Amino acid sequence: MILAYSPCPNDTYIFHAWVSGLLPDAPEVEERLLDIDALNGLAREGRADVCKISFHAFGHLRDRYALLHSGGALGRGCGPLLVTRADRVAGMPEEPGAFSGLSVAIPGRWTTAALLLRLFAPGLQGLRVMPYDRIMPAVEAGEVDAGLIIHESRFTYPDHGLAALVDLGEWWERLTGHPIPLGAIAVRRDLGEDMARRLDQAVRASLEHARANPMASRAYIERHAQEMDPDVCRRHIDLYVTDFSLDYGIEGENAIRDLLSRGEQAGIFPSSEQRLFWDR
């Protein structure tokens, strides 16, 4: 069974105990670590049994995948930022309708960041897909007018001489009152509900193990975080691993349903009669 997730600290923190064999009752899995755009592609091709995907991607894949209740990235104050060079802020448009002429680097067409940007500025045309770690250098070099940044870039963009134009998470929270759904753990529907239940329990148990043994996963996280500053790594986990990661609960589920509904209404992905979760 293929379990696919990103090398970002929030995911390696959550899944360390499971893939390290520390959960005797968890299903055996083969791990695949890829960036979020590649994960969305893996799920699109049906080549992952359990996969971290963007909620945007899930909007397109509801016929084949259902959501687990645990392991997702959903919270407040953690949304993507639209950034530009600090010396260009004064000349940038202030209203979403005036963004149409900008060239903007995005970290994947099916990322939730891209979905939020399209909801915020529907007329925006000049989108350029780049690996997320290439976006800040591209903005800094003037290759694009602005960049949509995610992950640890939220903490480091000022070091690149960049300034925030729009905090799309803040915009979403102000518009809806909901926390922002970013990424989900999805399971193939054809695995059945019994297996989905076991997988959900494994994700939750792995996160509970991480919280109870905070030093146990440190080497695993740092190995995959590569050269990320340890302080940035810790802040990354603190921001993206929340109580919603244990279980979305009613508040989280309402946020997810609202985001998907808005994507449907905007024609960004098709509507679906499938249940969102494997059990409801």
pLDDT in tens, 85-113: 998 887 787 778 778 888 999 999 999 99
Q: Which of 151, 160, 178, 236 is catalytic?
A: 151
Coil, strand, or helix at residue 147?
strand
pLDDT of 227: 64
Q: What is the CATH number that goes with domain 81-176?
A: 3.40.190.10
Q: Tell me the chain's radius of gyration from C-alpha atoms.
A: 18
**Residue 170 above 80 pLDDT?**
yes
pLDDT level of residue 241 (50, 70, 90 thresholds)? very high
Report percent pLDDT > 70 for the chain.
100
Cα–Cα distance for residue pair 230/75, rounded to 1 Å: 22
Fold agreement (2-75+179-265, 81-176): yes
User: What angle do helix axes 218-225 and 230-240 make, rounded to 10 degrees?
Assistant: 110
Segments making up each domain of the chain, as ranges: 2-75+179-265, 81-176
User: Can 151 be counted among the known catalytic residues?
Assistant: yes
Residue 124 · residue 54 · CB < 8 Å: no
Contact 169, 239 (CB under 8 A): no
Neighbour count for residue 64 (Cβ, 10 Å): 15
Q: What is the total residue count of the chain?
A: 280
212-215's contacts with Cβ under 8 Å and 24+ in sequence apart are 213/17
Q: Average pLDDT of the chain? A: 93
Residue 151: pLDDT band by 50, 70, 90 thresholds?
confident
Work out the percent of the chain whose per-residue pLDDT is above 90.
83
CB atoms within 10 A of CB 77: 12
Residues 219-231 have pLDDT tens digits of 999 999 876 788 8
Q: What is the mean pLDDT of residues 33-54?
A: 95
Give the residue-averaged pLDDT of 239-256: 96
Classify domain 2-75+179-265 at the CATH superfamily level: Periplasmic binding protein-like II (3.40.190.10)
Per-residue tokens: 280 = 């409801």
Phi, psi of 116 (to 5 degrees): -60, -40
The burial class, CB within 10 Å (0-12 / 13-18 / 19+), for 153 is buried
